[in-house]
Structure 1
Amino acid sequence: MRGKITKEAVEALKPGEIISDTNPTGFVARCQPSGKISYFYRYRDKKTGKKYWLGLGVHGDITPKRARELAAARAGEVAGGTNPLMEQQSQREEAQIAEKAADNTVDAVLDDFVKRHAQKLRSGDQVKRAFDDYVRPEIGDRSIYGLKRNEITKMLDKVEDKAGPVMADRVLAHVRKAFNWQAARDDDFSSPIVRGMARTKPKERARKRVLADDEIRDVWTALQSAELPECYRRYVKSLLLTATRRNEAADMSSIELEGDTWTIPGERYKNKLDHVVPLTAQARALIGEKPEGFRGNAWFVFSTTGGDKPFSGFSKCKKALDKQIAKIRKDEKREKMARWTLHDLRRTARSLMSRAKVPADHAERVLGHVIGGVRETYDRYEYLDEKRDALEKLAGLVDLILNPPANNVFRLEEARG
């Protein structure tokens, strides 16, 4: 029915009844079957000719006067060529997108990726450190839906300046995997990473760095003089004397030690097989005793928390170590030491074993490389004596490098072969 919408008229409506007002035209009050009375503005879109009902509010929440004011405002919008209902939907969609974006920052995605995927990998700790050290400080608070390629590029530029192009490519690989993982779970996300962002070619990423004798001496000297945790000094030396990888040594637990052998369990070794490392006297001296006050049965050997957790401050300590090496060389008026990584010590150990006349297949077994491929049966103690001999020769050569007899220089030259 037609009439003026007033409080009395509206409250007299019965379920299903409607009042159509003419001020403005299209302003209506409708009593729903439930008895609830709602205000609407009815209009026709000028462009499409389609009719719309735009809700203005519920009687009781707003007054008839306020509903009339809202209807007049919407009528003005329609007269100006705007479709107010479509505008409201668009605003709601934008608000939903904004709310979703706030919940999907790069930090949030990385957290989820690490929790659900990366922490299950053997390289999980490395992935997490790369995110923490290089990604989160630069783009962590950015929404993944607004992330631009140039932001990824700028982040990689900083990684390259700070840690070199190879590290930049490693960070890129980790972030690419995380973003692809997210894209597979999120219809609205498309990764901004594209081909051509890498800083090196695959062949260039294969490092060949081996420390020279004077560089080994510089590392040992700097380890003693730099401000470093005591466990880090022992840890770095162990990398060379056991030829193990960074995380394998960092996570060494007392439960893995038995007499003069260290068994790295397959679940945290690269080839997924248990790897037994014979410990020389030099290596055993780096392990130390049970931390004072530790009440458990198994403790982490290299720890700044009294054995409770394995050492993890790699980046900070490596910077302090490099700074001390640079100081030593500057004071002695020598050239700067070329960039090196902790993993280079493993490669250096392999080179030193060759210098010490260790048979190649024995040296490869020390590094955990299974000769001839993975067999159906695997004896963890196979070639244990040969590996022990190889590591004894390695330790002896390292001692000779660190303490070259002044009157027997020829012995070092002879060791070089």
Structure 2
Amino acid sequence: MPSDTSDFQRRIASLVAIEQGAGAEPRALTAALMQAALDTGIRKELRSTVAHALEQATGEAAKELTDLACRRLKPGNRLTDPQFAGLALVASKRGKRWIYRSQASGKQRQVTLGHYPAMTLAGAREKWATVRSEGLDSKVADMRSQMTLEALADAYADAQKAKGLKSWQRTRRILEKNLLDRHATMTLGDVSREVLEDCYTHLIDGQPGAAHNIRMAISGMFTWAYETRRLPTGLTIGTLRKTPKSNIKEYVPPTAQLRVMLRGLDGLRRVDADILRFQCLTGTRMSEALGADWSEIDLNERRWTIPANRMKAKRPHIVMLSRQAMELLERREGREGRVFEKRDRKTVSMNWAARRDELGLPTDFTSHVLRKALLTWVADNGGGRDIRDRLSAHSQGKSADAHYQLSELNSPAAEWWQRWADHLDAVEAGGNIVMINEARA
């Protein structure tokens, strides 16, 4: 902090006065505010960031990119070259790469020129001049082959995130661990179907579920790259070796384990027990149950309307509340804000995992299998595909007719949710009945 605090306060007050009525030029006012920020004594990365911005505001920024700045560039940041339009150095945890961006025919194009320090600053400028002189549009097909798998994965993750897909982080982790760990710097010109299949085929027998997830992540990325014209001419990956879903372990808790789970909820903190029981009664995902808000629930109509922005399918989902679900909600305190306080998924999942181990239940018994238990029971008891899709918020198609048919099933859906809740009561009580999977076990 400045030695004279009162003097510093007077400076801020004068800046506010300038902003309110003295008519200061925006750039000068911004520079003054940033200088005042530096005077507070901020340090390290925040100080260097503000100092760089101050140089830009005062016109004192470096007129030329230097090799020293390139060497000091840290992961997650980028440097642009003021004298070479579109040329930039981008740093990630795996290294630094030169990129060139250009506007052509109303579209922005980007190519990777090379990697630093193998390609020096001078080399990047020389490559920039070549691409500029020959035209990016005429060279883009050839330049696509020089894009690395890491650069493609970065662009794919950014596109998924921009669409609001919640799965983008999981997809990125899968690609990072199974593809980029060995092939991050491999260019698209060197990629082959064999290279991609080698990332998961060794897991098919022992870990078929993991193999399936890896294949879907890689296949999804290359499908997107093809649709957005990022693949070089001549690159044909084709259909990757399949990992049949029939080989993926599909665990559904048998009645005995479901009974242990329901009776064991009393060993959890009340709010966590209520979340899991509510999830079980409604067949919803953990994120949907955790986000339940009183504004979404109509106690008079006995319905819970989950908004589209919290649903995987991006469509509103109406849950018809059973008598047991209503009783659970009526036990919760308050009628504003989140129903289950501000619990986060990680905490609830960890608490359940610890309790599950105490109860001697298998690790496969996650909260998500409660959805499978509901849908399996409905199918075993004569519920058709349409009602199962209605209960789980799935759709048999993208047509308007498919959505309309589901919306007309509120009444029968309410009956099935009530029958399921009554079934859970019987399971927990331990009556002499045959239930989920017991006849098959």
Q: Could you tell me the TM-score, scaled by structure 2's length?
A: 0.49
Instruction: Figure out how many residues of one structure are paired with residues of the other and give that number.
Output: 296
Alignment match of 2:362 (pick from 322, 334, 337): 337
- Superposition deviation, residue 390 in structure 1: 1.6
Question: In 2, Cα distance between the equivalents of 1:230 and 1:191?
Answer: 56
Question: Which letter does structure 2 place at the counterpart of 1:220?
Answer: L
Helix, strand or coil: the match of 1:277? strand
Question: In 1, Cα distance between the equivalents of 2:378 and 2:124?
Answer: 62
Aligned ranges 1:385-404 → 2 under 5 Å: 385-404=411-430
Gaps of 5+ in 1: 1-89, 305-310, 330-335
> 1:276 maps to which residue?
318
Question: Which letter does structure 2 place at the counterpart of 1:258?
Answer: D
Helix, strand or coil: the match of 1:387? helix
Helix, strand or coil: the match of 1:146? coil
Given that residues 261 and 276 in structure 1 are in contact (C-alpha distance below 8 angstroms), is that contact kept between their aligned partners in structure 2?
yes
> 1:144 maps to which residue?
184
Given that residues 276 and 367 in structure 2 are in contact (C-alpha distance below 8 angstroms), is that contact kept between their aligned partners in structure 1?
yes
Question: In 2, Cα distance between the equivalents of 1:257 and 1:131?
Answer: 35
Asked if residue 328 in structure 1 is aligned to residue 359 in structure 2, the reply is yes
Aligned ranges 1:217-296 → 2 under 5 Å: 217-220=259-262, 223-225=265-267, 232-259=272-299, 260-266=302-308, 269=311, 273-284=315-326, 289=332
> 1:169 maps to which residue?
212
Question: In 1, Cα distance between the equivalents of 2:215 and 2:294?
Answer: 35
Question: Which letter does structure 2 place at the counterpart of 1:346?
Answer: R
Given that residues 160 and 168 in structure 2 are in contact (C-alpha distance below 8 angstroms), is that contact kept between their aligned partners in structure 1?
no
Helix, strand or coil: the match of 1:401? helix
Which protein is bigger by CA-based radius of gyration?
A: 1
> 2:159 maps to which residue?
116
> 2:257 maps to which residue?
215
- Kindly indicate which of the two structures has a greater share of residues assigned to helix: 2
Question: In 2, Cα distance between the equivalents of 1:93 and 1:327?
Answer: 59
Helix, strand or coil: the match of 2:404? coil
Change beyond 3 A, Cα 1:95–1:146: farther
| 1:36-71 deviations in Å (ceiling 9; x for gaps) | xxxxxxxxxxxxxxxxxxxxxxxxxxxxxxxxxxxx
Given that residues 286 and 345 in structure 2 are in contact (C-alpha distance below 8 angstroms), is that contact kept between their aligned partners in structure 1?
no
Question: Which letter does structure 1 place at the counterpart of 2:423?
Answer: L
RMSD: 5.3
- Superposition deviation, residue 283 in structure 1: 2.4
- Superposition deviation, residue 401 in structure 1: 0.7
Question: Which letter does structure 1 place at the counterpart of 2:377?
Answer: L
- Superposition deviation, residue 395 in structure 1: 0.7
Question: In 2, Cα distance between the equivalents of 1:112 and 1:255?
Answer: 37
| 1:214-247 deviations in Å (ceiling 9; x for gaps) | 1212333555547xx8655444333321123455
- Superposition deviation, residue 211 in structure 1: 1.6
Question: In 1, Cα distance between the equivalents of 2:177 and 2:292?
Answer: 30
- Superposition deviation, residue 387 in structure 1: 2.1
More displaced stretch, 357-366 vs 213-222 = 357-366
Question: In 2, Cα distance between the equivalents of 1:348 and 1:223?
Answer: 17
Given that residues 213 and 401 in structure 1 are in contact (C-alpha distance below 8 angstroms), is that contact kept between their aligned partners in structure 2?
yes
- Superposition deviation, residue 398 in structure 1: 0.4
Question: In 2, Cα distance between the equivalents of 1:357 and 1:347?
Answer: 15
Question: In 2, Cα distance between the equivalents of 1:391 and 1:361?
Answer: 14
Question: In 2, Cα distance between the equivalents of 1:242 and 1:210?
Answer: 17
| 1:103-162 deviations in Å (ceiling 9; x for gaps) | x887765454333235526xx223423434x44456667773338889977865898899
- Superposition deviation, residue 400 in structure 1: 1.3
Gaps of 5+ in 2: 1-117, 129-142
- Superposition deviation, residue 355 in structure 1: 6.1
Question: In 2, Cα distance between the equivalents of 1:210 and 1:117?
Answer: 31
Helix, strand or coil: the match of 2:166? helix
Aligned ranges 1:125-144 → 2 under 5 Å: 125-132=166-173, 134-136=174-176, 144=184
Question: In 2, Cα distance between the equivalents of 1:371 and 1:179?
Answer: 26
Aligned ranges 1:6-405 → 2 under 5 Å: 96=124, 110-120=153-163, 124-132=165-173, 134-136=174-176, 144-146=184-186, 156=200, 164-182=207-225, 184=228, 186=230, 200-205=243-248, 208-220=250-262, 223-225=265-267, 232-259=272-299, 260-266=302-308, 269=311, 273-284=315-326, 289=332, 298-299=337-338, 301=340, 303-304=342-343, 311-313=344-346, 318=349, 321-322=352-353, 324-329=355-360, 337=362, 339-340=364-365, 342-353=367-378, 362=387, 365-368=390-393, 374-375=400-401, 378=404, 382-404=408-430
> 2:138 maps to which residue?
none
Change beyond 3 A, Cα 1:365–1:177: closer
Question: In 2, Cα distance between the equivalents of 1:414 and 1:211?
Answer: 11
Change beyond 3 A, Cα 1:302–1:216: farther
Question: Which letter does structure 2 place at the counterpart of 1:337?
Answer: P
- Superposition deviation, residue 346 in structure 1: 1.7
